[in-house]
Structure 1
Amino acid sequence: MPKRILIVDDEPNIVLSLEFLMKKNGYDVETATDGDQAIAAVEQQKPDLMLLDVMMPRKDGYQVCQVLREREDFNDVRIVMLTAKGRDVEREKGLSLGADDYITKPFSTQDVVDKVSELLGQP
């Protein structure tokens, strides 16, 4: 059974490219464009991994990460934060809230695929 990935970003071009790439690599993909949609999508059908943008409307990625990590039933969802904010302080904030990794935009699509495979324990 393919692993499920939730892509959460408010930039349509990023969502489209990541969605295409993840599907091409055999993953089931869901998308959301803001933090509230992301939480609703996780509650509806829990993904194995979430690619989560930091800067979004309604709830930002940090808030989404914190909400999910506060709920024991979602602790096994892997979270990779995606952001244009590359400073160490932002990275540390994301990791301290429970993110599994942090990728800075602009990113190499192959780096994202490699990180997803690594976190899901796939070759």
Structure 2
Amino acid sequence: MFSWDVQKDEFDRLLNFFWVDGIGKIDYDCFGDVVIFDTSYRLNKYNLVCAPFVGVNNHWQNILLGMTFLSQEIIKSFTWVFTTFVRMMGDKQPITIYIDQDQAMARAIEVALP
């Protein structure tokens, strides 16, 4: 049940990477009404943003739903990752998604999660 997808540029270089395992898919099916997407962690060696999709289960425990690495925090990248997340989770959109106040992220949500 492990799924992943990559986005590459015109020179076949990695731009963005998303993956989810079977437990994340099952947890999202049960507890995916509210999702937290956090882009505050940056890997210094490759300068990629490590952004987890996190949920909360019925015991108020954090659960990892999926993970992405982003090369740029732009509308195009966020649109790709939100669209990919929904596709990998069986086309089920979250009811609520918590993000920081990033304008690019907010615009991508308008496009990918209407």
Please report the TM-score for the alignment, with normalisation by the length of structure 2.
0.36
Larger strand fraction of residues: 2
Larger helix fraction of residues: 1
* Greater relative contact order, per chain length (Cα 8 Å cut-off, separation 6+): 2
